[in-house]
Amino acid sequence: MSPKNGNKPRVLSGIQPSGNLTIGNYLGALKQWVAVQHEYDCFYCVVDLHAITAVQDPAELRLKTRESAAMYIAAGIDPEVSTVFVQSHIPAHSELAWMLTCMAPLGWLHRMTQFKDKSAKQAQESIGAGLLNYPSLMAADILLYHADFVPVGDDQNQHLEFTRDLAQRFNHLYGETFTLPSVMNPAAGARIMGLDNPTAKMSKSEASENHAIFLLDDPSRARKKVMRAVTDSRREIRFSQDPERAGVNNLLTIYQAITNEPTEAIQAAFADKGYGDLKRAVADTVAATLQPLQTRYNELMNEAGYLDSVLKIGREKAAEIAEDTLKLAQDRMGFLAPS
Ligand code: TYM
């Protein structure tokens, strides 16, 4: 069974439009998406159904969904090459998610770190069931397109393992249906940490001012955040897994993820330098990344109709594949086809 056109392996990934995208989203996900788009047959979706596992303001969700799609393109995704679409535009995602939810063992779901972390922050009675079932929806996103690779930051690796396990369970029970996907993490930048607290992952929903660099931060503001980043009381500038040195390691990681320079070359370049020099160098590369991205983003948001036409074409291309896979899975599970 080969559901694919041509010989290119398929890639699928998505970002939740649940806030403003950060440099963590860029370095962990978007930058890889751009890098692989000519080599693979890529599908990039704005996962709005995932965003509603937390209550969203309706007008804000609509806006963030468009903004996220614009950001994908501003970051370098070429909609003529990759398929860009909105998850909720393809009902097959919700339909397959239900079928997979019914097969997902509660034990597996309860083991998910993201569920444990997020649910720990809320009162048990008020946690929506969607938060627990979230990985089944993510599995549906991936399996509908028979994705071979899923480029993500390393916080999503456990969800990828879950997706593979669930696909295997389905294939075992109902016959070969789904492709088992592999995770694709970037060599540098798979986990960018908070600038104010380098032992916690940088997150778009963290409120404190100096935690995250947002892709739409004014470059001078982004620069200030870098200059205020937490470091340590030593002097040595080296990559290190020592939690005490997490701040310097994070700055070096951001620098490496942006410049793609090898570890040794970076350490040699900063051997005789101080933390102020490191921060200035990181601030420069960050500002140089944000500037062109923001120019393109503003053009896209002001270009009437363009984004909608991209999402319409994306929806048509994605729907064709997703509906075929859904039909196959429904047939395998024993649903009576409508006549
Ligand atoms: P989300 O929206 O939390 O994050 C989107 C992408 O950004 C990466 N990321 C990071 N990478 C490095 N450092 C960070 N600090 C950082 N923060 C976020 C994430 O790893 C992710 O790649 N469940 C997913 C969305 C999703 C999805 C999918 C992904 C839904 N369906 C299907 C791939 C395939 C999520 O919540 O991502």
Give SS3 for 85: strand
Largest CA distance in the chain: 75
What is the pLDDT at residue 318? 98
Which domain, by its residues, includes 226?
219-298
Domain holding 77: CATH number? 3.40.50.620
Ligand 1 atom closest to residue 135's alpha carbon, by position in its atom list = 23
For tokens 């034990």, the residue is 107
* Domains held by the chain: number: 2
Question: Do 36 and 172 lie in a common domain?
Answer: yes
Could you tell me if residue 201 is inside a domain?
Answer: no
What is the pLDDT at residue 1? 42
| Residues whose beta carbon lies within 6 Å of some atom of ligand 1 | 12-16, 24-25, 27-29, 47, 50, 138, 141-142, 150, 152-153, 155-156, 159, 189-192, 201-202
Cα(156) to centroid(ligand 1), Å = 6
**What are the tokens at 3?**
């559901």
Question: Do 240 and 179 lie in a common domain?
Answer: no
What is the pLDDT at residue 298? 97
What is the pLDDT at residue 127? 86
Q: Catalytic residues, which ones?
A: 118, 201, 204
What is the pLDDT at residue 125? 80
Could you tell me if residue 259 is inside a domain?
Answer: yes
Q: Nearest 5°: phi and psi at 44?
A: -120, 120
What is the pLDDT at residue 304? 84
Question: Do 234 and 85 lie in a common domain?
Answer: no
Question: For the sheet containing 41-46, what is the strand order?
Answer: 83-86, 41-46, 10-15, 149-151, 182-184
Question: Do 318 and 243 lie in a common domain?
Answer: no
Question: Do 62 and 91 lie in a common domain?
Answer: yes
Question: Do 261 and 311 lie in a common domain?
Answer: no
> Ligand 1: which of 33, 61, 152, 191 to mutate, most ligand atoms within 8 Å of CB?
152
Burial of 194 (0-12, 13-18, 19+ CB in 10 A): buried
Residues in the chain: 339
Domain holding 225: CATH number? 1.10.240.10
Summarised one tens digit per residue, pLDDT across range 251-300 is 999 999 999 999 999 999 999 999 999 999 999 999 999 999 999 999 99
Ligand 1 atom closest to residue 151's alpha carbon, by position in its atom list = 22
Could you tell me if residue 199 is inside a domain?
Answer: no
HSE (side-chain half, CA atoms, 13 Å) at 84? 28
**What are the tokens at 41?**
């047959």
Residues of the chain with pLDDT under 50: 1-2
Question: Do 31 and 126 lie in a common domain?
Answer: yes
Q: Look over the chain and give the mean of its residue pLDDT values, rounded to a whole number.
A: 96
Could you tell me if residue 2 is inside a domain?
Answer: no
Question: Do 61 and 80 lie in a common domain?
Answer: yes
Ligand 1 atom closest to residue 141's alpha carbon, by position in its atom list = 32
Could you tell me if residue 192 is inside a domain?
Answer: no
Could you tell me if residue 77 is inside a domain?
Answer: yes
Task: Supply the pTM of this predicted model.
Answer: 0.96
Question: Do 14 and 136 lie in a common domain?
Answer: yes
CA-CA-CA-CA dihedral for 30, 218, 308, 306, to nearest 10? -100
Give the bridge partners for 201, in sequence order. Answer: 193
Q: Whose CA is nearest to atom 9 of ligand 1?
A: 25
